[in-house]
Homo-oligomer: A and B are copies of this chain.
Amino acid sequence: MTLFEKLAGNFENLIAKGTLKLGDKMPSIRTVSKEYGVSKNTVIQAYLLLESRSCIVSRPQVGFFVCLKEDQRLPMPQASSPSINGAPGKEDGLIGKVFSNFVNKSITQMSLSVPDESFFPVARLNKCLQTATKTLAAGGTGYDDIQGNLRLRKNVSKWSFTWGGNLGADELVTTSGAMHAISLAFMALTKPGDRIGVESPVYFGILQLAKNMGLKVVELPTDPEFGVLPQDLEELIGEIDICLLVSNFNNPLGSCMPDENKKSVVELLTRYNVPLIEDDLYGDVYFGASRPKPCKAFDTEGMVLWCGSVSKTLAPGYRVGWMAPGKFIKSILKLKLFHSISSTTVTQEAIGLFLENDYYEKHLRQLRATLYSNSLHFIRAIADYFPKGTKISRPQGGFVLWVELDKKWDTGKLFDKVLSRGISIAPGRMFTLQSQFHNCLRLNYGLPWTDKLEQELKLLGQILKE
Contacts and interface: CB of A to CB of B under 8 A. Distances in A.
A436 interface: no
A339 B141 contact: no
Contacts of A133: 126, 129-130
Nearest to A341: B179
16 contacts: A102-B146, A117-B142, A120-B141, A130-B133, A140-B318, A141-B318, A142-B315, A143-B311, A176-B176, A183-B339, A205-B338, A208-B334, A209-B339, A212-B334, A318-B345, A319-B345
A291 interface: no
Interface in A150-182: 176-177, 179-180
Interface string A228-267: 0000000000000000000000000000000000000000
A126 B134 CA distance: 9
Contact of A99 (B146, B344, B345): B146
Interface string A21-36: 0000000000000000
A301 interface: no
Contact of A205 (B114, B126, B341): B341
Contacts of A140: 315, 317-318
Given A129-B139, A140-B318, A176-B343, 20 more contacts: A99-B337, A102-B146, A114-B142, A120-B138, A122-B139, A126-B133, A129-B129, A141-B317, A142-B315, A143-B316, A143-B317, A176-B176, A176-B319, A179-B339, A183-B339, A209-B339, A318-B344, A318-B346, A319-B343, A344-B344
A366 to B, nearest CB: 15
A-B residue pairs, 10 tightest by C-beta = A317-B345, A141-B315, A117-B138, A183-B339, A122-B139, A344-B344, A209-B338, A126-B133, A319-B344, A143-B316
Interface residues of A, number: 55
Contacts of A120: 138, 141
B141 A314 contact: yes
Contacts of A180: 339-340
Interface in A164-219: 176-177, 179-180, 183, 192, 205, 208-209, 212
Interface in A338-386: 338-347
A125 interface: yes
Contacts of A183: 338-340
A316 B246 CA distance: 33
A416 interface: no
A297 interface: no
Contacts of A87: none
Contacts of A114: 142-143
Contacts of A205: 337-338, 341
A317 B99 CA distance: 29
Contacts of A51: none
Nearest to A335: B212
Given A177-B340, A340-B176, A340-B179, A316 B141 contact: yes
A137 interface: yes
Contact of A319 (B102, B209, B342): B342
Contacts of A143: 114, 311, 316-317
A325 to B, nearest CB: 16
B139 A125 contact: yes
